[in-house]
Structure 1
Amino acid sequence: MVTHRFALLLAFGLPLPIFLPQPWRAVAAVVTVAAALAAADLAMAGPLTALRLRRDGDHTVWLGGSARVILTVANTGSRTVRVSLRDTWVPSAGAGPLFHTLLLRAGIEQPVTTTLTPTRHGDRPAVRVTLRSAGPLGLAYRQRSRSWNTAHTPPWNLRVLPRFPSRRILPEKLARLRVVDGSVVTRGRGHGTEFDNLREYVIGDDVRSIDWRATARAHDVVVRTWRPERDRRVFCVLDTGRTSAGLIGQAPRLDASIDAALLLSVLATRADDRVDLLALDDTVRTRVEGGGQRTKLNRLIDAMASLEPVLAETDFTLLGREMLRRDRKRALLVIFTALDTAPMIAGLLPLLPKLTARHKVIVAGVRDPFVSRLAQLPGTPGVADVHRSAAAQRVLAERDRVRDVLTHAGATVVDADADAFAGKVADVYLLLKASGRL
């Protein structure tokens, strides 16, 4: 194949013979010379079959961050190869730069770096490396078929973990958790507590906590202390149906749910509770359960990274079958969904009595702050402002009605704006943990 230099050579060479007595022969001579130079240049271009490719770099990155992937091109042949390559990724990988030009002598390898700034979470694979070997004159080049380039492209997949903006409040929640479950014990036994240790009696202790056998052995008054139970089960349910695709700010509602579920999972893992994950719409998309707590947390994050909203109605009967088939041990069931009237009344509400009979249920829905702003009239409202405000207030009133109905059915409802949503869910968990109601 010829390059733009060959076209420029013809563009400058063909007009010259016009002033000669026999221009057509001169034109033919110019074309012949240019073609001969291009053929010679093509013959001197290094073979592409001598090139070997390999990749190194980052396998994972949090959404909003950047990753680096290094593509190393090695020349295993005996001739110098002038390589132009294009490293193509899926558009949402945010790859750049895509084009590189290398001069590879025999036995030499050279790395090129591609910086990836993804715009969506999930798997972002490399598509194809297209190689082109040019001659020393730059008039012609070798390039193989697309299938050959695809076959010789080293596979690479960048796992983009979901955005975790609530990470900034994680130290605060962990400090509260240490107060609840770590450094502070209770004087008296209650529901959801377990024995911690024995210590000497101090004024103000409940006399009912005195351990008389230990007192007899120690010849001093000894009391039992208690702490909130560990090894409780926390079950996060992510609704990936059509309502999860609604935008909250610039991101789908599902992203806010994933952020809150991540914060809750980290807290529960630090509290030595068992965390399971279920994502569903009209079918079960992801299920994570079993395994060690630290290992499971990584599995949870990986599973959440691949979730995307699905344009299907959520079938909450799948959740009922999943939870009711398990053992009867009480768990904290946190359902991240939209507090919309139709899905809640027709889908989740008929199922709640059975769930709340066995488990502690939290229904968590993120509120769109834009709707809250629309509900407030400006200083000098016009007719359009009044209509928009009335519509927004109706939406909020229906949301309040859904919240009241779910609360009456025995669920704890978390309804907050996106910037405070994850923190509110974590606060409810810590409150239940402190009061021993898990």
Structure 2
Amino acid sequence: MLAYDVGLLIVAVIDSRTSRLRKGVAITREFGGRFAVGAETEVRIHVQNATNRAIQVILKDEFPPQMTLNGVREGRIDVEAQSTATLIYELTPPKRGRFEFGVTALRFKSRLKLVWCETKVTEPVSVKVYPNMRRAREAELKALGARSVVSSHRKTSWRGEGREFESMRDYVRGDELRHISWTATARRGKLTTRQYQIERDQTILIALDAGRLMTARIEKETKLDTAVHATLALISAAARAGDNAGLVVFGRKIKSYLPPGRGRDHIESALEALYAVEPEMIEPSYARAFEFIAANSKRRALIVLLTDLVDEEGSKELLTSLHLLRPRHLPLVV
């Protein structure tokens, strides 16, 4: 009896060492969409069996431990010949950033079906978790509505005089003296007036503070997370109004810059610029941020500053730095 057991054990060991996953069996991992904060996303493990025999496998997927698991990420699957079976589970990311999936472990029966053999399938993969665009659009519609700050600013500009230079023309009685171009007048030998047209689209530049005070938490997220979604809501509102919106993320230095634009591709670029932004434990430099904006935004713009202030010193630096934006730009501190 002992000899039989020993012989069976030897055969099982040899069977395990010589067994391989059949050719024609392929395992792939697929995501149901882009990962976003607080949104449930499907993860699918496909087992394709292109052989002429049914197989049985056990799968276990290695997902980022920071994410919340909904469903079962492991299970036994029977796959008929010339068919595909899928293991599906859901994950909910708690925050923005980059997360790592490991390999998928697969067990299959040995050739003699004496033991289960294990192998690693699929490659480790890194995924990005983006801000929740649905949340941003809901905030836009709820907080701003049809008469948003964007459209209000736009209407104000249309009621007044245009600010966009169009051409030069001869002075006509009644023209304002401040519109006279004295350089052109001297060159031409007669009074010449600058003519302006009403701006057809507005420019909004959002300056997002990623400094120390933005690390404070509001319920389950940082103030920066809240400001990121507010930023996307403003960009979406601007696009809806036909305006251009840009983005500057700053701390002690400039972290990222997205020139003003609009459209679906521009919103995608904003998501890319914001998904990995993290606050730093140092005071922001308003002066450096405003100098950057003044140097890179020549066209008049509404500058929306998303920041947090708790003391007189921080407020003083902000107020003394605002002159770097005026009079070309219109700053709005939120």
Q: Under a length normalisation based on structure 1, what TM-score does the superposition of the two structures give?
A: 0.57
Partner of 2:326: 356
Question: 1:263-314: CA deviations, max 9, x gaps?
Answer: 2222222222210011122343322125543421232234223322233442
Please give the secondary structure, in 1, of the residue aligned with 2:93. Answer: coil
CA distance in 2, matches of 1:267, 1:58: 28
Of 125-134 and 111-120, more deviation after overlay is shown by 125-134
Which structure 1 residue ranges, 5 or more long, are not aligned? Answer: 1-25, 195-226, 365-438
Q: CA deviation at 1:260?
A: 1.9
Q: Which has the larger radius of gyration?
A: 1
Q: Deviations over 1:310-367 (max 9, x none)?
A: 3344233431331121354321111111113277247534422222333211222xxx
Query: Which residue of the partner structure matches residue 35 of structure 1?
Result: 9
1:109–1:156 Cα change, 3 Å: farther
Amino acid of the structure 2 residue aligned with 1:153: E
1:89 alignment partner AA? F
Distance in 2 (alpha carbons) for counterparts of 1:251 and 1:243: 13
**Are 1:83 and 2:54 matched, yes or no?**
no
Alpha-carbon distance, 1:84 to partner: 1.8
Kindly indicate whether residue 70 of structure 2 is the aligned counterpart of residue 100 of structure 1: no
Determine the structure 2 residue equivalent to 1:387: none
Aligned partner of 1:140 in structure 2 is: 115
* Correspondence 1:388-407 to 2 at 5 A: none
Match of 1:322 in 2: 292
Letter in 1 for 2:48: A
Counterpart amino acid of 2:257? R
1:221 is aligned to none
Matched to 2:127, the amino acid is N
Displacement, 1:235?
A: 0.6
Query: Distance between the aligned counterparts of 1:169 and 1:130, measured in 2?
Result: 41
1:339 counterpart = 2:309: yes
- Match of 1:69? 43
Determine helix, strand or coil for the equivalent of 2:107.
strand
Matched, 1:274 2:274: no
Contact 2:102–2:124 (CA<8 Å) still a contact in 1?
no
1:236 maps to amino acid: I
For residue 176 of structure 1, the aligned residue among 140, 147, 158 is 147
CA positional deviation for 1:254: 0.6
> d(CA) in 1 for partners of 2:161 and 2:43?
53
Contact 1:86–1:131 at 8 Å: present in 2 too? yes
Q: Which amino acid aligns with 2:13?
A: A
Structure 1 residues 119 and 322: alpha-carbon distance in aligned structure 2, compared to 1, 3 A threshold: same
Give the superposition deviation at 1:180: 5.5
In 2 relative to 1, CA 76–313 (structure 1 residues): closer, same or farther, beyond 3 Å?
farther
Residue of structure 1 aligned with 2:95, choices 93, 101, 120: 120
- Does the 8 A contact of 1:46 with 1:134 survive in 2? no
TM-score by length of 2: 0.73
Structure 1 pair 77–154 and aligned structure 2 pair: CA distance change class (3 A): farther
Name the residue aligned to 1:53. Answer: 27
- Say whether 1:308 aligns with 2:278: yes
Opposite residue 265 of structure 2, the aligned amino acid is T
1:238 is matched with 208
Q: Which residue in the other structure is 1:11 paired with?
A: none
C-alpha contact (below 8 Å) 1:233/1:274 kept by paired residues:
yes
Q: Percent of aligned positions with the same letter in both sequences?
A: 23
- Identify the match of residue 259 of structure 1 among 229, 249, 265: 229
Aligned CA RMSD, in angstroms, stands at 3.8
- Whichever structure has more helix as a proportion of its residues is 1
Match for residue 284 of structure 1 among 232, 248, 254: 254
**SS of corresponding position for 1:358:** coil
Conserved? CA contact 1:56–1:69, under 8 Å: yes
DSSP 3-state at the match of 2:279: coil
